[in-house]
Amino acid sequence: MTTPLVLGAMMFGTTVDEDTSFALLDRFVERGGEWIDTADCYAFWASADGRGGHSEQVLGRWLAARPGVRVRIATKLGAEPLEPGSWPDRREGLSPRAVQAAFAGSLDRLGLDRVDLLWLHQEDRSVPIEQTVEALAALPADRVGVSNFPAWLTERGRAHALSLGARPFDALQLNGSYLRPRPGTLPPGVVHRFGVLSDEQSDYAAEHGLEVWAYTPLLSGAYDNPAKPIPDVYDHPGNTLRLAALDAVSVETGATRGQVVLAWLVSRGVRPMLGGSKLHQLDAALDAMDLKLTEEQIRRLDAADHFEWASPYAAAPGTPHWARKTSTR
């Protein structure tokens, strides 16, 4: 039985050495792992040469050493710096020429002739999305998705693909967790203004049948590691209530906060992505895939930060909405 968890390979070949990377990949497959996510730009900021490609190279060597292994590979393009130190001002972008060249490089490093899912890593408004979509239609990828895109641009690209008779974007990859950042802020590590999963994007995905993948779902360990405080962007009254609900369900299930978060995401049809570097972190996340929250627990987690309640000053039927007295807290 496969797991909905995705193994993120971002730091493989840089801060995560090859032996550890292989051990994580082997454990993931042993425990029913299916999807592995990487990108052509991983991890340029941590590499000695200032360039990406190291993660894909490690995955390519692992795949070559495991003939017959059954996994699905997803990679991303569009964010690799053109020269070391030039990101974000100069990156490969999403022109047809850049897309074709970047994808050819990914296939070469991975040692594959096609991938299961190709992501556009971030939007590029210097290029009409229609041109990008037309270039994608000719590439050997079973599926195409978008990461850190606004919903309107996703829809525009999907509409053009359908007009061509090509397969449209069918997946979204965004930052997503149980706690919500304050409006107008971005969590650490999110550099794209449309990089956080919103209610609109969730609704759009549900309406059109798109998969949603959530990166950094565990806030880099902050839910359970006292040495890693929850980032300030999550400090607001709504999250105080959410943490209380999360703690209560954690006690009831005997699971950690992080495991409850992962189980809650899965209950909403979201694929959580784990980027851990230790086997025990991977095992804990995979264990969470077996955690089944009750409908009542999910309801409490969903509604924890809903402030409205029935007002004692309820208006008579027919009263205009602007004349009604409401109470919030």
Which residue is it, tokens 């978008």? 146
- What is residue 147's three-state secondary structure? strand
* Inside any domain, residue 213: yes
304 lies in a domain? no
The pLDDT of residue 321 is: 36
What is the CATH number for 68?
3.20.20.100
Does a structural domain hold residue 326? Answer: no
Does 20 fall in a domain? Answer: yes
Confidence class for position 308, pLDDT limits 50, 70, 90? low
Domain that holds residue 165: 6-234+254-291
pTM equals 0.92
Q: In this structure, are residues 153 and 219 in contact, taking their beta carbons and an 8 Å threshold?
A: no
Report helix, strand or coil for 172.
Answer: strand
- Residue at 325 is within a domain: no
- C-alpha–C-alpha distance, residues 126 and 109, integer Å: 28
Collapsing DSSP to helix, strand or coil, 186 comes out as coil
- The yes-or-no verdict on residue 329 having pLDDT over 50 is no
Taking only the tens place, the pLDDT of each residue in 137-169 is 999 999 999 999 999 999 999 999 999 999 999
Q: Cβ contacts of residue 319 below 8 Å, gap of 6+?
A: none
Maximal CA-CA distance, the chain: 72
37: which strand partners? Answer: 8, 74
Q: For residue range 38-93, list pLDDT tens digits in order.
A: 999 999 999 999 999 999 999 999 999 999 999 999 999 999 999 999 988 899 99
pLDDT band at 306 (very low <50, low <70, confident <90, very high): confident
With respect to residue 77, please indicate whether it lies within any of the assigned structural domains.
yes
Mean per-residue pLDDT for 224-239? 96
Query: Which tokens in the block code for residue 206?
Result: 């549900």
Q: What is the pLDDT of residue 307?
A: 62
Q: Is position 297 within any domain? A: no
Domain count, the chain: 1
- Residue 272 located in a structural domain: yes
